[in-house]
Amino acid sequence: MSFDGHEAPAYIEAQLPPYEPPPLWIPPEQRKNNPDYNNDLTMFLPRTVLLQRHSQADQLGFNIRGGKEHHCGIYISKVTHSVAARLGLKEGDQILAVNNISFENIDHAYAVKTLKTITDVQMTVRYFPYGYDRTYDKTRFIAAMQNSGRR
């Protein structure tokens, strides 16, 4: 059979693996067939939050973890009942930038210093629980580095 004077392309048949149900650690309400399932991805989009303090001594209302030395971004790990909570900050939010300073590849100590010295904090954050989970699992990163031959 020819195709414009050329040999027709050969088609490859592939066998797809059987469907696997979601892992047990995924809560039922986050599974596609659950009536409470929410596939609204806008919750993962970056957003800007303006947090104003009267002085540097005032609390920010949240804790952070992560940093370049931990091979991950800076994440909000705890939010107290404060202005930060009312502004919508939550555990698992990744801080992408503070007052136009990128937080995507920053040391933890420098991130803390930056946050503590600014009174009008304009933060770009995004909810990214999958990256936040990495801040708790150093062994997974170390094992991956050893398996790839990098140290």
Residues of the chain with pLDDT under 70: 1-6, 8-9, 12, 14, 16-17, 19, 137-151
Please report the pLDDT score of residue 26 as a whole number: 75
Beta strands in 6-150 (DSSP E): 6-7, 47-52, 62-66, 74-79, 93-98, 101-102, 120-127
pLDDT at 140: 59
Q: Please tell me the distance from the alpha carbon of residue 140 to that of residue 23, in angstroms, as a whole number.
A: 18
Number of neighbours of residue 134 by Cβ within 10 angstroms: 17
Alpha carbon distance 94, 91 (integer Å): 9
Distance (Å, rounded) from C-alpha 134 to C-alpha 72?
7
**3 contacts: CB under 8 Å, gap ≥ 6:** 9
Residue-wise pLDDT for 71-104, tens only, equals 899 999 999 988 999 999 999 999 999 999 999 9
pLDDT of residue 35: 76
Indicate the average pLDDT of the chain.
Answer: 84
Give Cα separations from 61 to 76, 79, 102 (angstroms). Answer: 10, 6, 21
Q: What is the pLDDT of residue 19?
A: 66
